[in-house]
Amino acid sequence: MTSGTIDGVLIDWAYTGISCRAGESQRNDLSSITPGTITIKNSLIRLRKQKWGYNNATNLHNHLFKWEQDQPDKGYVAKKGCKLRLINNVFMVDQNAGYLDPAQNPKVNYGQVLVESSNNILIWSGPESALPNSYKQANLPSGFTLKMGSEGASIWNTRRNQWFDYYKQFGLFQNYRTFQKLY
């Protein structure tokens, strides 16, 4: 797994955010993997429920960050994986999207994953009563601020419009599926 940078990217209406899972050919020998660091900065990632998902699941989205997990029944145990740097990003979800710091997941056992985090916003667009405990401000990793309701929608729409103002070549898509409704 190599290092890389995702900078200034808009991922809107996705099922999964970023995957750092080993390929099928690597899973049986994770000792051959040298962990890299994925830097995500100045980006917007919005997950939305999909009509059809993985294994025919309906009306859901997956994780913001998908990491290798221990699965001894499949013959491999996660010991290594990508490290993560998150700087100046906006993430928007409307249902539980996994751990913001994959190291908090008991099935990911290779130590510290989130090596740097600053100026990130998590927008919860689902009903406040359904906010997962791990997304409450007190439980978020350092470098994250939680926003909800109309404030969250306003932040998303403003940042999204700023992205389109900067990347004018994608203007054709600016009005496609804008975020307007909160639960």
**Closest to 151 (Cα-Cα) out of 128, 119, 175:** 128
Angular region, 165: left φ>0, alpha ψ -120 to 50, beta rest: alpha
Q: Is residue 19 part of a domain?
A: yes
Q: Is residue 12 part of a domain?
A: yes
Q: Is residue 183 part of a domain?
A: no
Structural domain containing residue 76: 4-173
Q: Is residue 16 part of a domain?
A: yes
pLDDT level of residue 23 (50, 70, 90 thresholds)? low
Q: Is residue 181 part of a domain?
A: no
Instruction: List pLDDT tens digits, range 133-177.
Output: 888 998 888 999 999 999 999 999 999 999 999 998 888 777 765
Instruction: List pLDDT tens digits, range 34-76.
Output: 678 899 999 999 988 777 666 666 667 777 887 766 566 655 5
CA–CA separation, 53 vs 33, rounded Å? 29
What is the structure's pLDDT at 182? 44
Q: Is residue 8 part of a domain?
A: yes
What residue has token string 């909160």?
182
What residue has token string 């409450």?
136
**Closest to 18 (Cα-Cα) out of 99, 79, 120:** 99
Query: Number of folded domains in the chain?
Result: 1
CA–CA separation, 147 vs 92, rounded Å? 9
Whether 96 and 65 have beta carbons less than 8 Å apart is answered as: no
Q: Is residue 110 part of a domain?
A: yes
Q: Is residue 75 part of a domain?
A: yes
